[in-house]
Amino acid sequence: MTDAKSDFLKTVQERGYMHQCTDLEELDKKASSGIVTAYIGFDCTAPSLHVGSLLPIMMLRTLQKTGHKPVVLMGGGTTLVGDPSGKDESRKMLTTEGIQANMDGIKKIFSKFLTFAPEGEEGGPTDAVMVNNADWLGGLNYIDFLRDFGPHFTVNRMMAFDSVKLRLEREQPLTFLEFNYMILQAYDFLELNRNMDCTLQMGGSDQWGNIVNGVELTRRVDGTEVYGLTTPLLTTSSGAKMGKTAAGAVWLNAEQLSPYDYWQYWRNTEDADVGRFLRLFTELPLDEIARLENLEGQDINEAKKVLADEATRMCHGDEAARAAHETAQKTFEQGQLGGDLPSFDIARSELEAGIATFAALVKVGFCKSNGEARRFVKGGGARINDEQVKDENHPVTLTDLNDDGVVKVSAGKKRHALLRAV
């Protein structure tokens, strides 16, 4: 199908969100004739989601803005098991306390992208809802569950899924615990369909097998038609995976990554990715995006700034986006110290004794280890107060403090941070 009739699928196709769908024409009819309730699951493996989860979040946002109801499923139960999809080895086992702490951090993200009913009030037909699959998975009787749902899954079929096949091909163990994950995720869809009339599960392309399992289980057990829709696996033009940089994960929570660093991540987008990312991660009109992506030479940097502004505004708000833009402008274009640069406290006594340049790079998070930092300095990438340093042991001392009591530490031309004496 090329010409969707529903606003939802039309937007999905136009902006590049579409990868696979179990029955696109029927889903389009359903989305054209009434409200579709759809969900995406998010396991709680870290205290924040990162940019790799942004595309599914934008799908939920698009769903709601085109008149449908999004359900955010927190994987309080499935995180105890661990999704083997896309993994070469088993995930680290988390405690229930650790999962809850991660969930508390992740929950804060969604209110920036979706509209929920005010606390204590009954939601409207398209208000977003958040649920936790621990509420129904935690109370399952194992024997009853196996008898009711086990016959609907064959080991032959499960062995054919990429998440299983790739692990075995690489001779990495796949535990029985992980093997159960796809059954539990399929049961989530059945549960949400029964209790919330949820008829669509969405997710990344690596979730296709798990989603199809849920679609088929719901049809077989209850005779209900439901649908699955996936987004493409996102990589940059150079092949790098979205959400990761040399400095670490690009987190969506400000506690894990400052709005300035988030802005810089988008500002540093490769030229060939600007148009695609503007379509996926902003809500600018398509004709404006076409204009921006056709800019050439140095002008393409203006498009990157628009991308950074819009993406940061959506995730962190207008004020944070404006402050990040102004800080970058002062730092890179006017040669000043921007007030929104990441700042790290250091004891004045430590500066009095002197801290080696390699140690300063580790302290501000530009390098993960002393060895990596030493190599970086020797390679000529380190600067203290904009002066290149090639001796990894060169001391940063009190004499390097400016009038505001800070030292500027730089890694290359684009990463800057401040050491603040306390």
pTM of the entire structure? 0.79
The confidence score (pLDDT) of residue 231 equals 95
**How far is Cα 200 from Cα 185, in angstroms, rounded to an integer?**
13
CB distance 222 to 195 below 8 Å: no
The structure tokens 């929920």 sit at 116
Quick check: 184 pLDDT over 70? yes
**How far is Cα 406 from Cα 398, in angstroms, rounded to an integer?**
9
Mean pLDDT (whole number) for 91-99: 82
- Nearest alpha-carbon partner for 63 in 219, 208, 185, 227: 227
DSSP 3-state of 418: strand
Q: Where are the alpha helices (DSSP H) in 20-161?
A: 24-33, 54-65, 96-110, 134-137, 142-149, 155-159
Compare 90 and 61 and report the one with higher pLDDT.
Answer: 61
The confidence score (pLDDT) of residue 133 equals 95
pLDDT tens for 5-21 read 999 999 999 999 999 99
Quick check: 221 pLDDT over 60? yes
Residue 210 identity = N
Contacts with 80 (C-beta within 8 Å, 6 or more apart), sequence order:
94, 96, 99, 134
**How far is Cα 422 from Cα 63, in angstroms, rounded to an integer?**
48
Q: Residue 247 — very low, low, confident or very high, per pLDDT cuts 50/70/90? A: low
Contacts with 102 (C-beta within 8 Å, 6 or more apart), sequence order:
44, 45, 46, 47, 79, 94
Mean pLDDT (whole number) for 403-411: 79
Compare 254 and 161 and report the one with higher pLDDT.
Answer: 254
CA distances from 256 to 129, 184, 204, 326 (A): 25, 30, 23, 21
Quick check: 333 pLDDT over 70? no
- Nearest alpha-carbon partner for 159 in 142, 143, 182: 182
Mean pLDDT (whole number) for 30-35: 96
Quick check: 1 pLDDT over 60? no
pLDDT tens for 123-164 read 899 999 999 999 999 889 988 988 898 888 887 777 777 767
DSSP symbol at 407: E
Token pair recorded at residue 140: 């399952």
Quick check: 255 pLDDT over 70? yes
The confidence score (pLDDT) of residue 134 equals 93
What is the distance of C-alpha 398 from the center of its chain? 39
CB distance 17 to 62 below 8 Å: yes
What beta strand segments (E) does 120-255 contain?
Answer: 129-132, 200-204, 227-231, 244-245, 248-249
Q: Which helix (H) or strand (E) holds 396?
A: strand 395-396
- Nearest alpha-carbon partner for 152 in 86, 222, 225, 82: 222
pLDDT tens for 298-318 read 899 999 999 999 999 999 999
The confidence score (pLDDT) of residue 246 equals 58
- Nearest alpha-carbon partner for 254 in 346, 162, 331, 323: 323
DSSP strand pairing (382-384 vs 387-388): antiparallel
Q: Which helix (H) or strand (E) holds 343?
A: strand 343-346
The confidence score (pLDDT) of residue 10 equals 96
The confidence score (pLDDT) of residue 286 equals 96
**β-sheet bridge partners, residue 230:** 20, 203
Mean pLDDT (whole number) for 366-370: 87
CA distances from 31 to 35, 38, 401 (A): 6, 11, 60
Q: Which helix (H) or strand (E) holds 291?
A: helix 286-293
The confidence score (pLDDT) of residue 89 equals 52
**How far is Cα 106 from Cα 256, in angstroms, rounded to an integer?**
11
DSSP 3-state of 381: coil
Mean pLDDT (whole number) for 240-262: 83
pLDDT tens for 389-398 read 888 899 888 8
DSSP symbol at 198: -
